[in-house]
Amino acid sequence: MEEYKKAGGYQAVRKALFHMTPQEVTEEVKKSNLRGRGGAGFPTGQKWSFVPMGGDAPHPKYLIANADEMEPGTFKDRLLMEGNPHQLIEGMIVGAYAVQADIAYIFLRWAYKEAAKRLSKAISEAYTNNCLGKNILGSDFSIEMYLHTSAGRYMCGEETGMLNALEGRRANPRSKPPYAAVVGLWGKPTTVNNVETFCNVPHIIKNGAEWFKGLSHTEDGGTKIYGVSGKVKNPGAWELPMGTTIREILEEHAGGMQDGFKLRALIPGGASTEFVLPEHLDVRMDFNTLQKVGSRLGTGTMIVLDDQTCPVGVLLNLERFFAQESCGWCAPCWAGLQWIEQILRDIESGKGELEDLEILKSHTWLLGPGHTFCALAPGAMEPLQSALKHFHEDFERHIREKRCPWK
């Protein structure tokens, strides 16, 4: 904690508590164009402004850091929490002040043992230094913070599933509205933001919204932790200006493809985003630009598909994950995903038929937005529909040759 303080840590908390009203903090975050870093990209300041404020607002209000990082291909929050747990805690304190929350939870993935150790230590240091607890730093603001480690399930990362998980239930989604900002944990106003989102907040408050916007290459504010995995020379994650091109991330930071492998396609932001192709290498990795080429920034950690890996095998792996992690709450999701998995398994093992491709295609609509209770199934359809488009010939070859040509 001493080290973090020397580097300017906890100054944002002081500035917010003693020089800004909660509304001013929310306003500054709004002006910074910070958008959620968990996948959906919702504007953070706007999310905070939905929380009921003032004397009539129900209490206790809750604030949760979504640290249930479980999107396949995503490992950025782990690095943030292991590297600098105090930055997350400070961001949460500022956020809690902005929405006037009373209790904060860090909802951490069970697998992140090292992060759990470092966060526990950091939370107790923050309590010792009066940055957490009653009347923090001598102000009239109080906030309690607890680390909650889950027992593992993708659905815990879905906002309303997470609320159920924290309440000790199955992590099924809840119907919206009402939104968590108004009726959340135990029916009280609740703010949920991703770890990386909170980590940006102290810097916005300390240096101002204009400074934060200036860090970015595009209209979405700030920097982004970009990651690369797959057959590249140097897989990893790097903090870069928002809107860095795919080419720069892949070639300069990840070192390009391993010798003997060519880039076939990539998924830009975790398993539930659409494939983009080598022709998109100069596309900027931000929310709006990726949307224009039919994909999404998602978590910003890309998975690289090389020319020697079977795209049908990749799809089977992705859809099996979603089928397995479906909570079973709504029928299109659990039945549809299982069927998709089975069809892909048939095609991959040479037992597929051409009409299977039509069935898969119809599912991308049947399980699409608006047809299921939460975003799990629509997310699962993103890689599928783009694969059917980009790898059509590979699917057909499996069916024609009655085998996987990569085996």
Partner 1 sequence: MLTEEEMREIEAEIPRYPKRKATCIEAMKIVQRHRGWVSDEALQGIGELLGMTLDELDGVATFYNLIFRKPVGRHVILICDSISCWIMGSEKVREHLTARLEISLGETTADGRFTLLPIACLGACDHAPALMIDDALYGDLDPEKIDEILNRYA
Where does this chain bind partner 1 (CB under 8 A)? 60, 69-75, 77-78, 109-114, 146, 148-154, 165-171, 186, 227-231, 235-237, 271, 301, 303-306, 309, 313-314, 317-318, 321, 324-325, 327
Is residue 23 a contact partner of residue 209, using CB atoms and an 8 Å limit? no
Smallest separation, CB 116 to partner 1 (Å): 9
Is residue 195 a contact partner of residue 63, using CB atoms and an 8 Å limit? no
Smallest separation, CB 402 to partner 1 (Å): 21
* Cβ closest to partner 1, residue 74 vs residue 223: 74
Smallest separation, CB 251 to partner 1 (Å): 17
Rg value, the chain, Cα: 22
* Cβ closest to partner 1, residue 51 vs residue 305: 305
* Cβ closest to partner 1, residue 146 vs residue 365: 146
* Cβ closest to partner 1, residue 138 vs residue 187: 187
Distance CA 145, CA 217 (A): 35
Is residue 226 a contact partner of residue 301, using CB atoms and an 8 Å limit? yes
Smallest separation, CB 319 to partner 1 (Å): 10
Partners of residue 257 on adjacent β-strands: 232
- The position carrying tokens 């659905």 is 155
Burial pattern 134-147, b for ≥16 Cβ within 10 A else e, equals eebeeeebebebeb
Partners of residue 65 on adjacent β-strands: 106, 193
* Cβ closest to partner 1, residue 318 vs residue 367: 318
* Cβ closest to partner 1, residue 249 vs residue 314: 314
Distance CA 10, CA 90 (A): 6
Smallest separation, CB 75 to partner 1 (Å): 4
Smallest separation, CB 360 to partner 1 (Å): 18
Sign (positive or negative) of CA dihedral 45, 47, 49, 52: negative
Which run of H or of E encompasses 263? Answer: strand 263-267
Distance CA 135, CA 215 (A): 34
Smallest separation, CB 178 to partner 1 (Å): 19
Burial pattern 189-204, b for ≥16 Cβ within 10 A else e, equals bbbbbbbbbbbbbbbb
What residues have CB less than 8 Å from 110, skipping those under 6 apart?
149, 150, 151, 152
* Cβ closest to partner 1, residue 114 vs residue 210: 114
